[in-house]
């Protein structure tokens, strides 16, 4: 999947290997933010995840050797669909990581 076609890219505010910041309006909902934080913290290779409900953002620090960029983007794409659905007041299934 070419990176230019990913839904996730419109929500990435900064990205370097090992660090990514995501902003999404659905992350301003405390319950949604907690769901995402819990799932990502359980993912192998994630070193830390911090969320800010006021800004609707996540800061994810991860091990590049454990999670290749392509895997991270695939997981992020699943979560972007989930967050878009939440923002549209739908009830999507929580993505598996």
Q: How confident is the model at residue 6 (pLDDT cuts 50, 70, 90)?
A: confident
Specify the pTM: 0.90
| CB burial string 37-52: b at 16+ within 10 A, e below | bebbeebeebeebebe
Domains in the chain: boundaries: 12-87
Residue 18 contacts residue 63 (beta carbons within 8 Å): yes
Q: Return the CATH fold of 12-87.
A: Alpha-Beta Plaits (3.30.70)
pLDDT tens per residue, range 47-90:
999 999 999 999 999 999 999 988 998 999 999 999 999 999 99
């Amino acid at each position: 999947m070419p990176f230019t076609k990913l839904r996730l890219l419109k929500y990435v505010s900064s990205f370097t290997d090992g660090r990514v910041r995501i902003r999404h309006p659905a992350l301003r909902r405390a319950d949604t933010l907690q769901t995402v934080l819990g799932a990502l913290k359980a993912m192998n290779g994630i070193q830390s995840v911090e969320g800010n409900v006021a800004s609707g953002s996540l800061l994810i620090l991860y091990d590049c050797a454990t999670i290749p960029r392509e895997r991270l983007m695939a997981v992020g794409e699943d979560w972007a669909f989930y967050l878009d659905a939440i923002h549209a007041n739908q009830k999507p299934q929580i993505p598996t990581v």
